[in-house]
Amino acid sequence: MIIFVLYVSILINFFSINNPELTIEIQNIEVSEGEIIIGVFNTGTRFLREGAAIKNYTIAADETTKTLVIKDLPKGVYAISMYHDENSDGICNRNFIGIPKEPYGFSNNIKPKFSAPSYEDCKFSFQKDSVLKIKLRN
């Protein structure tokens, strides 16, 4: 049993070492309060739905530009959404028709026009060390 646990531990370490790094540079942070909430999705099924992200990250919004380095994401195809939770209430506040009242952003810097973007609009291939620059929109 100990050998099996050791073997699994070595495999986990091997695969985490071989993951590329995804650096996300978040730009246009206008209010130095609250947090940036980031969701990583690997499928269009339930894209942008609460609880559907495969990874979630939270960073302080204490500068006009923030950088997040993700080291635990395997190679694949992903889409990223984020919002600036300015009032730290844990939700993306929206107006009466559902448009976010707090700044938000998506991979590929998709700017929604009349509805939320699709996974297809936001997806990108992550195969090697990469840098994504995402501008928050109001």
Element (H, E) at 14: helix 2-17
What is the average pLDDT across 105-122? 93
Confidence band, pLDDT 50/70/90 cuts, at residue 1? low
Provide the CATH number for the domain around residue 60.
2.60.40
**How far apart are alpha carbons 135 and 106 in whole angstroms?**
8
Q: Could you give the number of structural domains in the chain? A: 1
Element (H, E) at 16: helix 2-17
Three-class DSSP category at 119: helix
Query: Could you list the residue range(s) of the whole structural domain that residue 19 is in?
Result: 2-135
Three-class DSSP category at 128: coil
Digit-coded pLDDT (tens) for 66-99: 999 999 999 999 999 999 999 999 989 999 988 8
**How far apart are alpha carbons 81 and 48 in whole angstroms?**
7
